[in-house]
Amino acid sequence: MRYPVAIHKDEDSCYGVSVPDIPGCFSAGETYDEALNNVEEAISSHLEILAEDGEIAPQATTIEQWQHTPDYKGAVWALVQINISAFLGKTEKATITLPKLLMTRIDEFVKSGKAKNRSAFLTDSAIKALELQKLK
């Protein structure tokens, strides 16, 4: 998942980084690169705590969703790639039955490179559906 991060240069020459999609997740660094490396670690640590509490990682949104928010005025934006599979627990094998047309469409989606495989597609789809359900 690619999380948008807002980077601000502090007055004392430090770079502060916040992750709008993960409330309470922030980091900093002396340089831009260090700040990005540190926020990657902060996101992973935050997601690990959520997983321990039985929570699924929040769905990543887009930079456009946040860039006009007053809290992030003047921020430089970046995307940080995080593999959330480590925070979902051990995998379990499941046998499912799907309509042929649906399976064909999933396979086309995978072939286009938008998902690694069927399992990844179904995992991502389930996470999105559960996140939407949480919002209701």
Reading the block at residue 122, the tokens are 């179904």
- Looking at the structure, tell me whether residues 100 and 78 fall in a common domain: no
- Looking at the structure, tell me whether residues 57 and 109 fall in a common domain: no
Q: Where are the alpha helices (DSSP H) in 13-117?
A: 32-52, 63-66, 100-111
Reading the block at residue 104, the tokens are 């064909």
- Looking at the structure, tell me whether residues 107 and 121 fall in a common domain: yes
**Per-residue pLDDT at 11:** 77
Calculated CA dihedral for residues 87, 89, 94, 98, nearest 10 degrees? -20
pLDDT digits (tens, 9 = 90+) for 53-105: 999 899 899 999 999 999 999 999 999 999 888 888 888 899 999 999 999 99
- Looking at the structure, tell me whether residues 4 and 65 fall in a common domain: yes
Q: What is the CATH number of the domain that holds 42?
A: 3.30.160.250
